[in-house]
């Protein structure tokens, strides 16, 4: 089974922390989904049906008209079999949400929304140059929960000048809605973004790493108390509401990424990516020739990726899986490498599974990297 990811590369304005591929130009917006549809036809042999999920990300796919989304989904359906409970998610920004929009979206086939709230406070939203404000954030959730059972509130922690209390307030407001799913990502400074420039110019001071860690620890503690399962480092869901798209990504399942800059994985050892340029992407599709980069993962790369992705999940890394997939030398290597972290109680064995303890969760990526073969 596999998954389709659609990257819609347009936004109304640039958030200061964002390094995704997108354009704020008005031209080319309407034809993009049609071009993506044509890309799917060219790459149809890469789809391993039946499909488990379709995910519209970006960029800001909530600026696409629901009728175009419907046409796209119908076209995918004509070409490939869907599992009956297929998850079809759209990332949406709060300022795009209104009642009519949601009603039309529902009939288009979308059955899950991922709402880019990021913060409920205008000061944070302004600092990040988000296009919406607090009023729109609250209003959008109230509307969405009336029309969709399955939705996620997406938040950002570690925002400059926030205190632990500010962050707790953000979480409390989100939890008051009792959403089925919450994602929370740390604000990171990506090269060549406006935030990077502001930090270098000393116009913005970043939060101390220790405070970012405290915000993450509070996030895990509060959400687990409320019955959410931290099924992946940044993702929290009520039972039955884990994101299929996210989990399949972390389980290294195959997905086909469509649209400029999107990445694909064949589920075995090949990763590929589309050109990050809307104009050249369009020229390629029109000529029936795609600009795709590709890399083959070695056994060592796949082992390292397995450790990184599995330790981020609550399930952990399976020693049996390592043995079966990579051989006994890898098992011995892993057993040797984990010793220090077991001793420091950062990691523990739960039967066959190696897991991160709650106290060390914030350090997951670094701990996984210590176990890599370099």
Interaction site with ligand SF4 (CB under 6 A): 11, 14-15, 18, 20, 22, 58-60, 93
Instruction: State which residue, 58 or 260, has the beta carbon closest to ligand SF4.
Output: 58
Which residue, 20 or 177, has its beta carbon nearer to ligand SF4? 20
How far apart are CB 226 and ligand SF4 at their closest, in Å? 26
Q: Which is nearer to ligand SF4, 20 or 353 (CB)?
A: 20
User: DSSP assignment, residue 10?
Assistant: B
Residue among 62 and 162 whose Cβ is closer to ligand SF4: 62
Shortest Å distance, C-beta 322 to ligand SF4? 36
Measured distance CA(338)–CA(189) in Å, rounded:
30
For residue 269, give the 3-state DSSP assignment: coil
CB atoms within 10 A of CB 230: 19
Least distance to ligand SF4, CB of residue 90, Å: 13
Ordered alpha helix ranges (H), the chain: 29-42, 66-79, 99-108, 122-127, 134-147, 164-176, 194-200, 209-225, 244-250, 278-286, 299-312, 319-326, 328-337, 339-343, 364-370
Q: DSSP per residue over 19-56, as a string?
A: -S--B--STTHHHHHHHHHHHHHHTGGG--SSEEEEEE
Residue 19 beta carbon to ligand SF4: minimum distance, rounded to whole angstroms: 8
Cis peptide upstream of residue 129 (ω within 30 degrees of 0): no
Strands 51-58 and 2-8: parallel
| Least Å from the CB of residue 60 to ligand SF4 | 5
State in angstroms the smallest separation of the CB of 16 from ligand SF4: 9
Nearer to ligand SF4, 27 or 74 (CB): 27
Shortest Cβ 246–ligand SF4 spacing (Å): 17
Q: For ligand SF4, give the closer residue by CB, 22 or 167.
A: 22
Contact 215, 164 (CB under 8 A): yes
To ligand SF4, the closest distance from the beta carbon of 130 in angstroms equals: 7
Helix (H) or strand (E) run with residue 114 in it: strand 112-118
Evaluate whether 59 touches 6 at the Cβ level (below 8 Å): no
**59 vs 257 by CB, closer to ligand SF4:** 59
**First-to-last CA distance in the chain?**
32
* Closest to ligand SF4 by CB, 15 or 117: 15
Q: For ligand SF4, which is the closer residue by CB, 113 or 308? A: 113
Distance CA 280, CA 260 (A): 9
Minimum distance from CB of 7 to ligand SF4 (Å)? 10
Q: How many residues does the chain have?
A: 374
57 three-class SS: strand
Nearer to ligand SF4, 59 or 158 (CB): 59
CB of 128 to ligand SF4, least distance (A): 8
Largest CA distance in the chain: 59
Whether 63 and 29 have beta carbons less than 8 Å apart is answered as yes
Distance CA 364, CA 347 (A): 10
């Amino acid at each position: 089974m596999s998954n389709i990811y659609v990257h819609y590369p347009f936004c109304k304005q640039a958030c200061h922390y964002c390094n995704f591929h997108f354009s704020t130009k008005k031209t080319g917006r309407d034809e993009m989904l049609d071009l993506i549809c044509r890309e799917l036809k060219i790459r149809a042999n890469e789809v391993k049906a039946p499909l488990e999920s379709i995910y519209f990300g970006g960029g800001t796919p909530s600026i696409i008209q629901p009728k175009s989304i419907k046409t796209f989904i119908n076209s995918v359906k004509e070409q490939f079999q869907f599992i009956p409970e297929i998850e079809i998610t759209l990332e949406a920004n709060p300022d795009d949400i209104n009642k009519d929009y949601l009603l039309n979206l529902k009939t288009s086939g979308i059955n899950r929304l991922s709402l880019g709230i990021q913060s409920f406070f205008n000061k944070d939203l302004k600092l990040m140059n988000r296009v919406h404000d607090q009023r729109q954030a609250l209003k959008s959730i109230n509307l969405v929960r009336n029309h969709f059972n399955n939705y996620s509130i997406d938040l950002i922690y570690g925002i400059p000048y926030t205190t632990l209390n500010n962050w707790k307030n953000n979480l409390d407001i989100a939890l008051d809605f009792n959403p089925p799913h919450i994602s929370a990502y740390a604000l990171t400074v990506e090269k060549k973004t406006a935030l990077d420039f502001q930090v270098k110019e000393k116009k913005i001071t970043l939060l101390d790493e220790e405070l970012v860690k405290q915000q993450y620890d509070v996030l895990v503690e509060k959400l687990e108390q409320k019955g959410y399962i931290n099924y992946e480092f940044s993702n929290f869901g009520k039972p039955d509401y884990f994101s299929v798209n996210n989990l399949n990504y972390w389980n290294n399942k195959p997905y086909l990424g469509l649209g400029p800059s999107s990445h694909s994985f064949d589920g075995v050892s090949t990763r590929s990516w589309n050109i990050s340029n809307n104009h050249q992407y369009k020229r390629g599709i029109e000529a029936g020739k795609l600009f795709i980069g590709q890399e083959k993962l070695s056994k060592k790369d796949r082992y390292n990726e397995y450790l990184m992705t599995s330790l981020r999940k609550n399930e952990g890394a399976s020693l049996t899986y390592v043995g079966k997939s990579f051989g006994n030398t890898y098992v011995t290597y892993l057993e040797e490498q984990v010793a220090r972290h077991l001793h420091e109680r950062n990691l523990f064995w739960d039967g066959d599974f190696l897991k991160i303890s709650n106290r060390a969760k914030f350090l997951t990526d670094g701990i996984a990297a210590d176990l890599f073969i370099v």
